[in-house]
Structure 1
Amino acid sequence: MTVLATDAIVLHVADYMESSRILRLATREAGVQSVVARGARSSRKRFGAAVDLFAEGQAQVQLKPGRDLHTLIGFDVTRARAGLALHLDRFAAASAIGEVALRLLHDEPAPGVYDLLSATFDQLAGVEPGQATSTALGGLWMLVAEVGFRPTLDECAECHAPLEPGTAYRFHHRAGGALCDRCSRLHPGGRLLPVEARDTVRLWLDNRVPTVADNAARAHQRLLREFLTEHLPDGRPLRAYHTWEGGIS
């Protein structure tokens, strides 16, 4: 057996048997890994905040060849991110990000994705009231781009003709972005993307957080969900995302 020491972020926690927990970790060196933290439910002395969602630190994982579930030996927390639990909008947004990350990532090294997740959770933990949704949407669009699905906004996703900056175009999820008028007629479906909405998505992809009104934020959440649904590898529902999109009452 090999012991892997790696930076890790807790993206999912589930109880396991009477005293343990199963964690799904985003790691810098090995992508997403599932680990069992034995005794984590009966005593927090061994792992402490390591079994809390969105905690980050140095994990020691005992890898078992040919197995999908490994053993967490230790976890030295460097960021607990308690701020994510202080407000429901922050927590719901972070949960949606974690869920999407688990669906997009595999057990392969992706340091760029790891750094992006870490930075997004840090931002979200201290975001000003009313900015959690916009911050999360930016993090999610950048995550989508980092794994190879960056949407095309300034040229047609089919024929690559340049698109006029002050014109609304149809956004076609399967094609991977905005379509010119000609290609839009050849590929029915999609959703009309107003000029302001296209500019807003571009800002998110450039790691800027625009101010977005509540009604526009809902439309952007729907647009991203439809895009994710088209490009995720299976048809399972995004439960945490749907909760986040539905709003916090």
Structure 2
Amino acid sequence: MNALTTDAIVLHAFDYLETSRIVRLLTRDAGVVSVLARGAKRSRARYGSGMDLYAEGLAEISIKPQRDLHNLNNMEITRSRAGLAQDIGRFTAAAVISELVMRFVGEESGPHLFDVASHVFDELAEAPTDETVQTAVAGAWRLVAALGLTPALDICAGCHAEIPAESDALFSHRAGGVLCTKCGALVAGVRRLPASARATISLWLDASRTIQLTDLEQRAHQRLLREFVQEHLSEDRPLRAFHVWERERWGDG
């Protein structure tokens, strides 16, 4: 076995036999890994609150080459993110971020994606109730960008012609962003994206301040994000956390 000590975030955990748990971690140095935490249900001495969802800390892992399940020897928590468990809207939004990471991040991901995910979880843990949805949408777009799928917002994804910032634009999930009128006529399934929505996504991708949105605008951004992710990343598998998050209105206050 190879020893690995790395920053890690708990994405998912479930019981295994009588005393142990299997945990999915996003790590800074090894991407997403599955680990066996022996005795985690019996004693918290080795793991502390390290089995709590979305907690972050320093994990000591024994890596088994050519295996999908490794051993978690110890985890020292540095961020508990208790605020996520105190509000169902925050917790559900965090589940969406976790689903994105577990589904689309492999073992080859690097420190940048870890840092983006960590920052998003931090923001959600502190988000006011009425800003939970847009905080999650903004964070999810930054994760999508970190995965190399930044949508084209200022130039046509087809011919690279500049799209005026003040203009509404055609948007194609399949093309990967906005299209000019000429290119949009050649692509099926385009939708009109208001200039204000383009500007909002651009600000989110730049990690700018929270934008004040109406409930209808938040719903539209949730739908746009989910459709984009489904087109590029989902492999026709349902995004269960996304669907729960879209259906409920916990973040409305």
TM range (shorter): over 0.9
Deviates more, 1:25-34 or 1:100-109: 100-109
Task: Quote how far apart the aligned CAs of 1:233 are.
Answer: 5.2
Aligned amino acid, residue 181 of structure 2: D
Residue aligned with 2:185, SS: helix
- Which residue of structure 2 aligns with residue 19 of structure 1? 19
Task: Quote how far apart the aligned CAs of 1:13 are.
Answer: 1.1
- Which residue of structure 2 aligns with residue 4 of structure 1? 4
* Whole-Å separation in 2 of the counterparts to 1:44 and 1:248: 35
Residue aligned with 1:51, SS: coil
Task: Quote how far apart the aligned CAs of 1:40 are.
Answer: 1.2
Task: Quote how far apart the aligned CAs of 1:41 are.
Answer: 1.9
Residue aligned with 1:130, SS: helix
- Gaps in structure 1 of 5+ consecutive residues: none
- Which residue of structure 1 aligns with residue 97 of structure 2? 97
Length-normalised TM-score, structure 1: 0.97
Residue aligned with 1:178, SS: strand
Task: Quote how far apart the aligned CAs of 1:116 are.
Answer: 0.7
Residue aligned with 2:13, SS: strand
Aligned amino acid, residue 199 of structure 1: A
Is 2:227 the partner of 1:226? yes
- Which residue of structure 2 aligns with residue 155 of structure 1? 155
8 Å Cα contact 1:88-1:248 kept in structure 2: no
- Which residue of structure 2 aligns with residue 211 of structure 1? 212
* Whole-Å separation in 2 of the counterparts to 1:50 and 1:212: 35
* Over 6 Å off, 4+ runs: none
Is 2:246 the partner of 1:245? yes
Task: Quote how far apart the aligned CAs of 1:212 are.
Answer: 1.6
Length-normalised TM-score, structure 2: 0.95
* Whole-Å separation in 1 of the counterparts to 2:234 and 2:224: 18
- Percent of matched pairs sharing the same residue: 51
Aligned residues: 249
* Whole-Å separation in 1 of the counterparts to 2:144 and 2:38: 33
* Whole-Å separation in 1 of the counterparts to 2:116 and 2:87: 22
1:30-65, CA deviations, whole angstroms, 9 ceiling, x for partnerless residues? 111110111112333331210010000000001111
196 and 109 in structure 1: CA distance in 2 versus 1, 3 angstrom threshold: closer
1:172-205, CA deviations, whole angstroms, 9 ceiling, x for partnerless residues? 0010000000000011212211111111111111
Deviates more, 1:72-81 or 1:16-25: 16-25
Residue aligned with 1:106, SS: coil
